[in-house]
Amino acid sequence: MINIDNYKTKLTSLLSFRMLFEKNRSSVSMNIDNLKVSWECPSNIALVKYWGKKEEQLPLNPSLSFSLKKAHTRTTVTIKPREMKRLNFRFEGEESSFAHRVDQYLDKLSIDLSWINDYSFYFESENTFPHSAGIASSASAFGSFGLCMADINHKITGKKADNEQFLHEASRLARLGSGSACRSVYPGFAWWGKSSAYKGSTDCFALHVNKIHDIYSDMCDAVLIISSDRKKISSSAGHALMNDHLYREIRIRQANSNAIELYQLLKAPDHQRFFEIIENEALTLHALMMSSMPSFILLKEESLKIMDKIRMYREDTGIQIGFTMDAGPNIHLLYFREDQRKVHQFIESELKDLLEEGKWLDDRIGEGPVRLI
Ligand code: PMV
């Protein structure tokens, strides 16, 4: 197991996060010409997948996810009066090719936030998890950027917002960088996408899912690394495969129905059905990629073996575990806290040999973003 506890993590509960937020909101002294904000934001794992988009990063279907506890990006943004160069971006202290994407992101934001063109931006970003660990780093990165930019926007415009409105705005700004990032600005579970079954839902930003059953607030996620190679297909190219996909309409119906049912299960648990739905979502995501034109096979032999072993273990022991995946070969093994010891034993004895250098990350549901300064 990779001990990502060694990476300094700084989390607070939702309550203390809110208190921290309030405290800082009132104590900020503003020098707009040299303003600095800093946020830490988690990555998230989707249980119902966002796959396919329309217009400006709007989803074809609703998705449902939870934020992770240990996998975070921390970003500090300083703004200064406009210099020749608009963006200085450093990742873990080094120049990075990701700067190009951040520059495009500022272009997108400037359509809405006209003050962006008056400033130069100094971004310093770092992750609390290893590179290429099979964790969506764009979700935590753009989540932290969305929070920083919403924060700056409030300071520059003097706009008043309560915590909820602030997070909605941060979610909307995060979405413009990476769709799934809009779900990362919340603790626990988040819903993104318009649905008549979810009050107040919209395609523009995600919502925090509250009042879930206690058992789900302790969900654990072992990220099993099968390959840390770069993705074979970018996520934009992946979403584009849905534009003319033969199964597009049926997929939209399926995702809507899975999202609504899973949302209800979060309030009234039925573990068997819960894992049926999330596995159906993960396998559908890959089936859609395999049946696209052009087609992509991202699963590896080890991915299939592990899925099979997880199902066998569940059947043999009655312990409630299941899997999900992103658009890659790595497996997120989900289980409940009360089974942690047994599940860790299972990973060590049955799955470890199938993993890249035996690597896996021990993560779980987290408490959401933290303002750092
Ligand atoms: O946010 P993007 O464009 O990287 O897309 C993420 C897509 C999936 O991870 C496969 C599913 C999801 O909902 O997170």
Q: Which ligand 1 atom lies nearest to the CA of residue 236?
A: 3
**Is 50's C-beta closer than 6 angstroms to any atom of ligand 1?**
yes
User: What pLDDT is stored for residue 230 in this prediction?
Assistant: 74
Pick from 73, 137, 221, 235 the residue to mutate for probing ligand 1's pocket: most ligand atoms within 8 Å of its CB: 235
Looking at residue 14, its pLDDT comes to 44
Ligand 1 centre distance from Cα of residue 35 (Å): 32
28: CA distance to ligand 1 center in Å?
35
Paired sense of beta strands 119-127 and 87-91, if any: parallel
Nearest CA to ligand 1 atom 4: 235
For 173, half-sphere exposure in the C-beta direction (CA atoms, 13 angstrom radius) is: 28
Our answer on whether the CB atom of 324 is closer than 6 Å to any ligand 1 atom is no
Residue nearest to atom 9 of ligand 1 (CA): 326
162-214 confidence digits (pLDDT tens): 999 999 999 999 999 999 999 999 999 999 999 999 999 999 999 999 999 99
Q: How far is CA 28 from CA 12, 107, 179, 189, 284, in A?
A: 20, 27, 30, 30, 47
Cβ–ligand 1 distance for 138 under 6 Å, the answer yes
> Is residue 132 left, alpha or beta, with left meaning phi > 0 and alpha meaning psi from -120 to 50?
left
Ligand 1 neighbour 362 (Cβ under 6 A) = no
Distance from C-alpha of 189 to C-alpha of 265, rounded to nearest angstrom: 13
Residue with tokens 């992101």: 105
CB 235 near ligand 1, within 6 Å: yes
Distance 136 CA to ligand 1 centre (A): 8
| Phi, psi dihedral angles at 333 (to 5 degrees) | -95, 115
Interval between CA 235 and ligand 1 midpoint (Å) = 7
Task: Check pocket membership of 63 for ligand 1, CB cut-off 6 A.
Answer: yes
Q: Quick check: CB of 366 below 6 Å from ligand 1?
A: no
Tell me the per-residue pLDDT of 312-326, one tens digit each, with 9 for 90 and over. 999 999 999 999 999
Q: Which atom of ligand 1 is nearest to the CA of 45?
A: 14
For residue 365, the 8-state DSSP code is B
The minimum-distance atom of ligand 1 relative to the CA of 139 is 1
Around Cβ 297, how many Cβ atoms within 10 Å?
10
Q: Which residue of 43, 44, 45, 49 sits with most ligand 1 atoms within 8 Å of its CB, as the best mutation to test the pocket?
A: 49
Ligand 1: does its nearest atom lie under 6 Å from the Cβ of 46? yes
Which parts of the chain sit beneath pLDDT 70?
1-31, 131-134
pLDDT for the residue numbered 115: 95
One-letter amino acid identity for 148?
C
Cβ pair 302, 310 in contact under 8 A? no
Pairing of strands 53-54, 63-81: unpaired
The neighbour count for residue 311, using CB atoms within 10 Å, is 15
- Ligand 1 centre to CA of 74 (Å) is 20
CB 176 within 8 A of CB 109: yes
Name the residue of 50, 53, 58, 73 whose CB sits within 8 Å of the most ligand 1 atoms, as the mutation to test its pocket. 50
